[in-house]
Amino acid sequence: MDFKLAESSTLNIMAEQTLSIFYYIVLFALYCFLGWVLEAIYRSVTQRKLVNAGFLHGPFLPIYGLAAFLVIFLQHVFQNWHFAPRFVLCGLAITAIEYMAGFLTEKIFKMTLWNYSECRFNLHGYVCLQFSLLWTLLALVFAIFVHPEVLSQVALLSDSFVKTAAVIFMFYFWVDFTFSVMTLAAFRRSVAYLYEQYFNLSSIEIHDNLKSFQRLLSAFPHLNKYVFQSINQRIKLRLNSFLKPLKEKIILSMAGRTPLEKEYHDAVEDILRHEEFLKLKDFFHHNSSIYDHVLSVAYLSYRICKYCKLDFRSAARGAVLHDFFLYDWRNHDEPDLPDRKFHGFAHPSIALTNARKYFSLNEIEEDIIKKHMWPLTIVPPKYKESYIVSFADKYLSSKEFLDEYKKRIAKHKIKPKGKNR
Ligand SMILES: [Fe+2]
Ligand SMILES: [Fe+2]
């Protein structure tokens, strides 16, 4: 089998030739480069633009070099094993390296360079089954086809050339690694700066700040997520700190309303519980019942009078009773009751008669009920509270009429059309 032949030739070279450490450094550099080519192609295709993959500035991905050497080592140590378990072991070992690299980057730099969280069968987002299977396949291709060929070619190179190349690579690697770590640290500082100053910076300044890390952001798209998450968190914190006092203010004002509600309720409670008064619920008025209408007029009048330091109690009671007439003013055939067109003039007196019948009224309350239709009823109110109830009544009546009118228009519009056929 060709696979076996290739494997055995690799092992023979390794066994027969005792290559110096410099050859292994060159091999490592080559595998880092091949890994970079592979990753750059994959990233450029998936991101639909040219991407310089990896965190080094140069075209090398050390994690691929490490994985390649691990595969070579395992192939050598377990050469007597069956073909299949040997490659499963290689896949597992590469997965372990990937896990460690992801874990350490997150621990050391507090950043996520890749994340498989959205893939099925992932482990903490550092590794996933889909990619582990891919790594196993790559290990197979590497051990059988790539490594024997590369090794045989490198073994042919002269000692002096390999030594020079290895030294240059080591020097370059040390410099690039140092700068790359510094870039990563600077990136973290920059995100922290943006996090702090986000609201003081213009969008151009924010853009410029991140522009210097463009390569890093395109090599590791998850860093973009990291930036957005950090900034979003900042916005959330700022919004919360802004909303908190507002929320407290609203809660306070709601709480502050409670005593007012109680005060209002205490003022009109006996009327609201009276069975004769409760009959107002049965008569339609504007857009609901007379009962609902008088209650809204009473509460608004009470609030205004309270604010203006007037007799809010009388205002509330007078307003509750201002339309205390127990008939449907639009449609009735009771001979004693006012005709529709005279209802506006007549109902204040009827309401006053009913109110007097069931409740004891003071002068202000009587004036409110009697004159709430002013200026339709000629005599003007005597008290400020009466003017306020009259105003509240007109305002809310118009509102109720308009709401009812809108409702009817809307109903008319959605009426299904007859069939044309
Ligand atoms: Fe009225
Ligand atoms: Fe009214």
d(CA 86, ligand 1 centre) in Å: 95
Residue that wins the pLDDT comparison between 121 and 234:
121
Q: Give 74-118 pLDDT, tens digit per residue.
A: 888 888 888 788 888 888 888 998 899 888 877 777 677 778 877
Quick one: pLDDT at residue 169?
A: 93
Residue 3 has pLDDT above 50, yes or no: no
Q: Give 255-301 pLDDT, tens digit per residue.
A: 555 566 788 988 999 999 899 999 898 888 777 889 999 999 999 99
On whether both 175 and 283 belong to a single domain, the answer is no
On whether both 222 and 335 belong to a single domain, the answer is no
Residue 32 has pLDDT above 90, yes or no: yes
**Segment 314-331 mean pLDDT:** 88
Instruction: Express the helix, strand and coil content of the chain in percent, nearest 5 each.
Output: 75, 0, 25
d(CA 331, ligand 1 centre) in Å: 16
d(CA 77, ligand 2 centre) in Å: 98
On whether both 365 and 223 belong to a single domain, the answer is no
d(CA 284, ligand 2 centre) in Å: 12
On whether both 208 and 278 belong to a single domain, the answer is no
Q: Give 197-220 pLDDT, tens digit per residue.
A: 666 666 666 667 777 677 777 677
d(CA 393, ligand 2 centre) in Å: 5
On whether both 186 and 326 belong to a single domain, the answer is no
d(CA 400, ligand 2 centre) in Å: 11
- Closest ligand to the CA of 346: 1
pLDDT above 70 as % of the chain? 75
- Closest ligand to the CA of 350: 1
On whether both 280 and 196 belong to a single domain, the answer is no
Q: Tell me whether residue 151 is in a domain.
A: yes
The C-alpha atoms of residue 283 and residue 276 are separated, in whole angstroms, by: 13
d(CA 12, ligand 2 centre) in Å: 106
Amino acid identity for residue 172 in this structure: Y
Which segment of 7-21, 147-161, 239-253, 312-326 scores lowest on mean pLDDT? 7-21
Q: Tell me whether residue 22 is in a domain.
A: yes
d(CA 397, ligand 2 centre) in Å: 7
Give the end of a domain, one of 173, 206, 229.
Answer: 229
- Closest ligand to the CA of 297: 2
The C-alpha atoms of residue 346 and residue 343 are separated, in whole angstroms, by: 5
d(CA 317, ligand 2 centre) in Å: 13
On whether both 225 and 279 belong to a single domain, the answer is no
- Closest ligand to the CA of 395: 2
On whether both 186 and 316 belong to a single domain, the answer is no
Omega into 381 within 30° of 0, i.e. cis? no
Residue 418 has pLDDT above 50, yes or no: no
d(CA 88, ligand 1 centre) in Å: 90
Residue 2 has pLDDT above 50, yes or no: no
The C-alpha atoms of residue 40 and residue 220 are separated, in whole angstroms, by: 11
The C-alpha atoms of residue 33 and residue 154 are separated, in whole angstroms, by: 15
Using alpha carbons, list the distances in angstroms from residue 273 to 226, 267, 278, 293, 358.
62, 12, 7, 16, 12
How open is the CA angle 44-50-52, to the nearest 5 degrees? Answer: 90
- Closest ligand to the CA of 285: 2
Which residues does residue 288 pair with via DSSP β-bridges, in sequence order? 285
Which segment of 8-17, 317-326, 398-407 scores lowest on mean pLDDT? 8-17
Q: Tell me whether residue 46 is in a domain.
A: yes
On whether both 321 and 408 belong to a single domain, the answer is yes
d(CA 291, ligand 1 centre) in Å: 12
Q: Tell me whether residue 269 is in a domain.
A: no
On whether both 213 and 286 belong to a single domain, the answer is no
Pair of tokens at residue 405: 């009118």
The enclosing domain of 358 has a CATH number of 1.10.3210
**Which residues have CB under 8 Å from 352's CB, separation 6+?**
366, 369, 370
**Which residues have CB under 8 Å from 390's CB, separation 6+?**
368, 371, 372, 373, 374, 381
Residue that wins the pLDDT comparison between 374 and 415:
374
Give the end of a domain, one of 229, 256, 291.
Answer: 229
Confidence of residue 40 (pLDDT cuts 50, 70, 90): confident
Domain that holds residue 395: 274-413
**Which residues have CB under 8 Å from 112's CB, separation 6+?**
102, 105, 106, 125, 222, 223, 225, 226
Amino acid identity for residue 109 in this structure: F
On whether both 216 and 142 belong to a single domain, the answer is yes
Residue 333 has pLDDT above 80, yes or no: no
How open is the CA angle 180-186-189, to the nearest 5 degrees? Answer: 150
d(CA 407, ligand 1 centre) in Å: 22
Pair of tokens at residue 374: 């002013």
Provide the number of structural domains found in the chain. Answer: 2
Quick one: pLDDT at residue 202?
A: 65
Predicted TM-score (pTM) of this structure: 0.49
d(CA 393, ligand 1 centre) in Å: 7
Residue 421 has pLDDT above 90, yes or no: no
Q: Tell me whether residue 222 is in a domain.
A: yes
Q: Tell me whether residue 294 is in a domain.
A: yes
Q: Tell me whether residue 259 is in a domain.
A: no
Quick one: pLDDT at residue 268?
A: 92
Give the end of a domain, one of 200, 229, 258.
Answer: 229
Confidence of residue 227 (pLDDT cuts 50, 70, 90): low
On whether both 7 and 135 belong to a single domain, the answer is yes
**Segment 364-371 mean pLDDT:** 94
Residue that wins the pLDDT comparison between 169 and 225:
169
Quick one: pLDDT at residue 16?
A: 45
Q: Tell me whether residue 260 is in a domain.
A: no
